[in-house]
Amino acid sequence: MLLRRGGDSILHESFPAPRRGAAQTLRACLNSLRMHSSTRVALAVGAFLVLQECVLRAVFPLPEVLNFDRAQYSHIGFTPDESALPALGHSSFTWASDPDGFSFVHELNLYGFRDAEWSRRKPEGATRIAFFGDSFVEGFSAAVEDTIPSAFAAVAMQAGEAVDVLNLGVGGGDLPATARLLRDALPLFQPDRVVLILFANDILPTRFDPAWLRDPLTPEVAHAWRPRLLHLLDRVRSGRPLPRRWTQPPFEFLPSVPDPRNPWSNGRTAGRLQAFVEPDIARAIRDGRFNPMLVDALPWFRKHLVRPIRIDAHITALTAHVRAAGATLHIAYIPTKNQISDRYLVAQERFSPPDSVASQLGGEFQLHARLLDEACRRAAVPFIDLTPPLRAREPRDGPLYWDYDDHMRAAGYRFTAAALYEWLASDGG
């Protein structure tokens, strides 16, 4: 109100409470702004962390089992320095044969195998079948859809069967490496059936070593809720590569000169081989475009295939191990191309020692399949020798193998897969 004192008028501040309320309101507004600002910062940080996690998971996928990788089961170094590739997840490599006119790229999954991505959990209602073996299982010299496991899955699905097929083939592998892979892979993926395919050079006069099946892998499982950045930092600290979402550019499985894995890098060896290897094939070997091991393959197989072997201990131990894992074991034998036809000798004359070019169709060269059959019978393991069906098929649909490379063409792999399916569906089951 307006009061008069001594002729003066003054504004009497008789309502201090409203001023105090305004100050409090102002302070509340400022606090609210600060809170909203903190909330916005927190939300922004949270959004950034979520976005970062999504990007890292998209760019750097991890397998369910962090310490299981194909590189642990291959005795062939992929580079001169074997430590350069401690893991092969989402890697790729080329396998080529210039004399045959082909080059195939093997794209590998997160575990380093030539297959689609795997889950440890089996699909509901499906029979999981795991194929083990060497380059014939992996499918060297063919497209991925023509490999034995892929073609087997296609045949089974056409027959209306629900199957989940795993390709655990390792090119260049041998029986000890396969045993170690069986030891570690079975508890991880728990297949219902195991198909072990043995090529003619897998059965060596090597005694079974129980150590092959001892000390199984202790799986390091990736935790779904652990930040991907921590996983990646762990891998960097341990020297393991970071698998990208995309497949890495291919490297040469067959090394070119100069490389200690290529015998043509050694002058003395090259001089010996050049005495009977024709120039175009020698050039392909030097360029990493033809398998240098094939140069001495014919004489080696002539000695190897007639040599008695003792395989019972291997079969007995592997059978017990597979059965203990809750699966059934099936064993198949794949012959060399020279065990099914002499037609391939024409090409092999161009890169083999002259005195080694002779037929290997005789019964003495089929000894290993017979010994395998006997050992499997004693262990009550289903066994199939694929030599007779391949011999019968060769004149009609051949060539089933490549002329120069020692692996099968697509037709050979597909026929083998169909024969294995028919066998497993009947006697092999």
Strand segments (E) across 98-250: 102-107, 127-133, 163-169, 193-199
Spatial distance between the Cα atoms of 194 and 329, rounded to a whole number of angstroms = 5
For 156-175, what is each residue's pLDDT tens digit? 999 999 999 999 999 988 89
Give the model's pLDDT for residue 8. Answer: 47
Backbone φ and ψ of 66, nearest 5°: -75, -25
Q: What angle do CA 385, 295, 270 make, to 5 degrees?
A: 160
Statement: residue 3 has pLDDT above 50: no
Amino acid at 77: G
Statement: residue 84 has pLDDT above 70: no
Backbone φ and ψ of 94, nearest 5°: -105, 145
* pTM, entire model: 0.87
Pick 11 or 41 by higher pLDDT. Answer: 41
3 half-sphere exposure, CB direction, 13 A CA radius: 7
- Cα 141 to chain centroid, rounded: 16
Looking at the DSSP bridge assignments, the partners of residue 50 are none
Helices (H), 238-349: 267-273, 279-286, 297-304, 312-324, 345-348
What class has domain 70-424? Answer: alpha beta
For 375-394, what is each residue's pLDDT tens digit? 999 999 999 999 999 999 99
Tokens 């087997």 belong to which residue?
Answer: 152
Looking at the DSSP bridge assignments, the partners of residue 166 are 130
